[in-house]
Amino acid sequence: MKFISGLRNNKTFVSSFSLLTFLISTLGIGLLIGRIFIDELAFDRFLVTIFYFTTQSNLLVFAVLFLFLLKKNHKKWFKIISLIALIDITITGLVFHIFLTTFVANINFMQHLLHTIIPLLYIAFYIVILDTNFKLNQFWIGLIHPFIFLVSVFTWIHPFFGDRIEQIMLDFQGASYVYPFLDPATYNNGFAGLLLFNLGLLMPLIILITIVMIFLKSKIEGKINH
């Protein structure tokens, strides 16, 4: 832990790494925005883009890094937002590489940037640079946004915008539910399969990831402070 402590106390490293991560995050957001404006159906593409958990998690990362550079990291709410961003971007990377790559015909640079490079950089930023810490019984904080996203998909995104999303993402299975693992038609046994996968596998995985990340961060901070 002396290594992490040394890096954290090195102002040049902290400034350089934070700025680098912010610039790469900005590039990712810029590519997302650019893809919207080059599409003939710009508004529909905007809806598709903003509904994705990947977009939302990367926007959160961008916001945290921007606030950090503005030296807002000592605010109480910053601690909460930074944890939510950590869990979001970790889920983004893991779910994409474990569950979604088979549904993506062309994994390009932007996909790797949003699902691999930025998640790894932000995890390093959170662990090495931020001195925030949570107790294990506060793990629910990291689940706030994934829960809101899941509820949103079934209560208003699919019912009101599902057809429009499907018209844009013609080659993406389950597009009307944003992601294929949220579409009952993806499973042989329909809604039962949906519940089994999401409640029996995906949700426990997300909870486990959250607890592990908080536990590891707590241990690291404990070692550094003592």
Per-residue pLDDT tens over the stretch 37-64: 888 888 888 988 999 999 999 999 999 9
- DSSP E strands, the chain: none
Mean pLDDT by 10 residues, the chain (226 residues): 88 97 98 90 89 97 98 94 98 90 79 96 97 94 96 96 88 86 93 94 95 96 86
pLDDT at 70: 97
| Sign of the alpha-carbon torsion through 61, 64, 66, 69 | negative
Question: Using an 8 Å Cβ cutoff, are 25 and 65 in contact?
Answer: yes
**Predicted pLDDT at 105:** 65
Residues 47/61, Cβ–Cβ less than 8 Å: no
Residue 1: predicted pLDDT? 75
The span from the CA of 15 to the CA of 8, in Å, is 10
Alpha-carbon gap, residue 213 to 149, rounded angstroms: 21
At what angle are helices 53-69 and 144-152 packed, to 10 degrees?
Answer: 140
DSSP state of 139: G
E-strand ranges in 7-110 read: none
Closest CA to 125 of 219, 217, 203: 217
What would the pLDDT profile of 164-173 be if each residue is shown by its tens digit? 999 888 777 7
